[in-house]
């Protein structure tokens, strides 16, 4: 109830006794006072007695709040006297806090004294209870400044803690932002200078940078540490090298041009020619690494100063010549084997991984998906037929195979050479009975070296038949097959009268160049016969 509303009710006569009792019963329980309000006893009636307040506990604080009140000063007044005195009360600024619920009004205020005596008259409180109430109020008044100071200290402490937490939060946010910036900078730097991921299933060794520098120097190979060294040697940005070497099962871009050519035995063979940047990288790898590594003496294919003639010469005029073929030679040499070759040379797993990815590729097929063309892998990464590094790498992978087969051949009294996937064996009459044993052991060794013999192309040639090794007849001396020479002679003979272009019955796109190349090949194998054919070719009319 507000100050003015209370004063107004007193001036107009106030509530009746029944109204006061009902209001008191509604607001105040019978056994306790409302929390935060001055205590009011229950309305007496039906034998109810005012509750006894708990006795005041002795205080250790000074007796400054002790009022020394006397119960006699709370003598009751009649209702008429209360109204009369209330009407005579004037406004006093000391009563502005009368309705505050956090303090008990002082007895020094006339209004409080009048209300106290009215409460006694109505039987709501006894004088002794009023003495106790005002004593408590005095003690509260004495403690109020200290409580206010405590509240101020607490408020300041809370504010300081909030400020500290705010500063700590801002500091943590700044530190987190700094860490994010540093991490982004580090990631950008690592992307610009290093390679840590090149696709699923192939990136396992990129974190290992340990290289065998002594072995690399012994072989005269360039020392390459992290992938950034390889990028610098190739003259590429690291990002470009990452793009060229990245492995994906389905890619929107292919680094190879794929086409098919017919096989002599029927069917077609897929060739994959690398695009310019990748071809440049493969050429650097071939010149600076692969061509410097010594090969087994039995290898003749794709080796400097060796050719089909050098491969066939050791088998001339022998009692038995055996030809064997390795099935799917290039595709069977997969990425893990190529990576192992580079690691055996002394390169770190990281450098070996990048080098192997540059030199291998998956067989792929073009697929349309959501109006996009994707090149989807149909097999594991292997040596592509068309890359300049594939022949040299195949020879390096087959070094173990060559060593084991050459040892077997020496033990049995045979001679062994290999030109790419063509294996050739020859022996004299004494070693001929061991042919079956040789072929059985050959299948066993080839299988252990993770290759497979193509049984359809295995041939055992005796002296009474044409013995051929990589297209060269070796019965008496190295020579070109008779059918090839006859065909060239017929072409040159008719060309004298009909013209060379008229002889191109197979629609060869560069027929004259093909004829010139065949003559050059014959010159290598049989120089005398090759000179005769070359003279006939040069005697053809101009514009042939």
pLDDT in tens, 408-453: 999 999 999 999 999 999 999 999 999 999 999 999 999 999 999 9
pLDDT at 46 over 50: no
pLDDT number for residue 542: 60
* 228's tokens: 């950034």
pLDDT at 56 over 50: no
pLDDT number for residue 36: 41
pLDDT in tens, 336-371: 999 999 999 999 999 999 999 999 999 999 998 888
Which of residues 167 and 139 earns the better pLDDT score? 167
pLDDT in tens, 200-249: 999 999 999 999 999 999 999 999 988 999 999 999 999 999 999 999 99
pLDDT at 495 over 70: yes
The Cβ of residue 49 has, within 10 Å, a number of other Cβ atoms equal to: 10
pLDDT number for residue 543: 52
Which of residues 71 and 461 earns the better pLDDT score? 461
pLDDT at 34 over 80: no
pLDDT number for residue 244: 96
Query: Phi-psi bin for 381: left (phi > 0), alpha (psi -120 to 50), beta?
Result: beta
pLDDT at 526 over 70: yes
Return the closest-CA partner of residue 19 out of 79, 74, 77: 79
User: Distance between CA atoms of 228 and 351, rounded to whole angstroms?
Assistant: 9
- Measured CA distances, 10 to 1, 5, 121, 196, 335 (Å): 12, 9, 15, 91, 105
DSSP conformational letter for 405: H
Which of residues 68 and 327 earns the better pLDDT score? 327
Instruction: Give the CA dihedral 330, 336, 340, 343, nearest 10 degrees.
Output: 120
Residue with tokens 């409302």: 34
Q: Which of 128-137, 148-157, 263-272, 396-405 has the lowest mean pLDDT?
A: 263-272
User: Distance between CA atoms of 505 and 534, rounded to whole angstroms?
Assistant: 21
Contact 419, 301 (CB under 8 A): yes
User: Distance between CA atoms of 332 and 56, rounded to whole angstroms?
Assistant: 102
* Cα end-to-end distance, the chain, whole Å: 128
Query: Phi-psi bin for 510: left (phi > 0), alpha (psi -120 to 50), beta?
Result: beta
pLDDT number for residue 20: 47
Q: Over 26-74, what HEC string results? A: HHCCCCCCCCCCCCCCCCCCCCCCCCCCCCCCCCCCCHHHCCCCCHHHH
- Per-position DSSP letters for 185-196, written without gaps between them: HHHHHHHHH---
Burial 521-531 (b: 16+ CB within 10 A, else e): bbbebbeebbe
pLDDT number for residue 262: 84
pLDDT in tens, 250-276: 999 999 999 888 877 777 888 999 999
- Give the residue ranges of DSSP H helices in 253-332: 276-288, 308-312
**Percent of the chain, pLDDT > 70?**
85
* 448's tokens: 């252990």
Angle, helices 390-397/399-412, rounded to nearest 10 degrees = 50
Return the closest-CA partner of residue 134 out of 146, 120, 148, 154: 120
Return the closest-CA partner of residue 404 out of 441, 436, 434, 430: 441
pTM over 0.85: no
- Most confident of the ranges 122-136, 383-397, 499-513: 383-397
pLDDT number for residue 230: 94
pLDDT number for residue 19: 54
pLDDT number for residue 60: 47
The pLDDT confidence band at residue 383, using thresholds 50, 70 and 90, is: very high
Q: Which of 8-22, 312-326, 396-410, 447-461 has the lowest mean pLDDT?
A: 8-22
User: Distance between CA atoms of 353 and 204, rounded to whole angstroms?
Assistant: 9
Q: Which of 20-34, 130-144, 421-435, 495-509 has the lowest mean pLDDT?
A: 20-34
pLDDT number for residue 49: 47
The pLDDT confidence band at residue 37, using thresholds 50, 70 and 90, is: very low
Average of pLDDT values for 524-537? 92
Summary mean pLDDT of the chain: 86
Which of residues 24 and 416 earns the better pLDDT score? 416
User: Distance between CA atoms of 405 and 399, rounded to whole angstroms?
Assistant: 10
The pLDDT confidence band at residue 12, using thresholds 50, 70 and 90, is: very low
pLDDT number for residue 9: 54
Contact 246, 198 (CB under 8 A): yes
The pLDDT confidence band at residue 61, using thresholds 50, 70 and 90, is: very low
Q: Which of 12-21, 116-125, 418-427, 444-453 has the lowest mean pLDDT?
A: 12-21
* 220's tokens: 């005269």
Residues 6+ apart with CB under 8 A from 500: 491, 511, 512, 515, 540, 544
């Amino acid at each position: 109830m507000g100050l003015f509303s209370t004063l107004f009710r007193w001036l107009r006569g106030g509530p009746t006794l029944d109204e006061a009792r009902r209001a008191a019963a509604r607001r105040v329980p019978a056994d306790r006072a409302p929390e935060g309000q001055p205590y009011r006893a229950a309305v007496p009636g039906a034998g109810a007695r005012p509750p006894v307040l708990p006795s005041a506990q002795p205080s250790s604080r000074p007796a400054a709040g002790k009022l020394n009140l006397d119960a006699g000063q709370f003598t009751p007044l009649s209702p008429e006297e209360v109204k009369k005195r209330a009407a005579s009360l004037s406004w006093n600024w000391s009563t502005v806090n009368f309705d505050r619920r956090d303090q008990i009004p002082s007895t020094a205020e006339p209004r409080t004294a009048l209300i106290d005596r009215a409460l006694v008259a109505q039987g709501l409180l006894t004088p002794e209870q009023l003495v106790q109430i005002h004593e408590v109020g005095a003690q509260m008044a004495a403690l109020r400044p200290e409580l206010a100071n405590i509240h101020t200290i607490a408020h300041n402490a809370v504010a300081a803690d909030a400020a500290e937490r705010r500063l700590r939060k801002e500091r943590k946010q700044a530190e987190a932002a700094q860490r994010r910036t540093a991490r982004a900078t580090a990631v950008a730097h690592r992307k610009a200078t290093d390679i840590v991921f090149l696709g699923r299933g192939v990136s396992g060794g990129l974190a290992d940078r340990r290289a065998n520098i002594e072995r690399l120097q012994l072989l005269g190979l360039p020392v390459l540490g992290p992938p950034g060294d390889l990028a610098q040697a190739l003259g590429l940005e690291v990002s470009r090298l990452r793009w060229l070497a990245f492995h994906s099962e389905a890619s929107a871009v292919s680094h190879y041009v794929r086409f098919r050519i017919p096989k002599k035995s029927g069917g077609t063979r897929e060739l994959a020619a690398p695009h310019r940047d990748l071809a440049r990288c493969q050429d650097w790898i071939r010149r600076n690494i692969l061509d410097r590594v010594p090969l087994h003496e039995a290898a003749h294919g794709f080796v400097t100063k060796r050719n089909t003639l050098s491969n066939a010469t050791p088998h001339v005029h022998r009692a038995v010549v055996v030809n064997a073929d390795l099935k799917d030679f290039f595709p069977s040499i997969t990425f893990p084997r190529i990576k192992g070759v580079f690691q055996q040379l002394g390169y770190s797993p990281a450098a070996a991984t990048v080098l192997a990815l540059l030199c291998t590729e998956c067989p792929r097929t073009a697929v349309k998906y959501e109006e996009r063309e994707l090149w989807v892998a149909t097999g594991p990464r292997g040596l592509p037929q068309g890359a300049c590094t594939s022949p040299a790498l195949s020879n390096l992978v087959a070094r173990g195979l060559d060593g084991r087969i050459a040892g077997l051949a020496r033990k049995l009294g045979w001679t062994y050479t290999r030109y790419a996937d063509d294996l050739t064996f020859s022996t004299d009459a004494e070693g001929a009975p061991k042919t079956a044993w040789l072929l059985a052991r050959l299948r066993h060794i080839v299988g252990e070296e993770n290759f497979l013999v193509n049984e359809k192309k295995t041939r055992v040639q005796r002296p009474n038949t044409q013995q051929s090794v990589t297209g060269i007849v070796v019965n008496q001396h190295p020579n070109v097959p008779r059918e090839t020479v006859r065909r060239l002679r017929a072409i040159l003979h008719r060309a004298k009268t009909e013209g060379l272009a008229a002889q191109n019955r197979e629609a060869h796109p560069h027929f004259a160049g093909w004829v010139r190349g065949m003559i050059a090949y014959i010159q290598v194998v049989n120089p005398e016969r090759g000179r005769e054919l070359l003279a006939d070719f040069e005697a053809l009319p101009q514009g042939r």
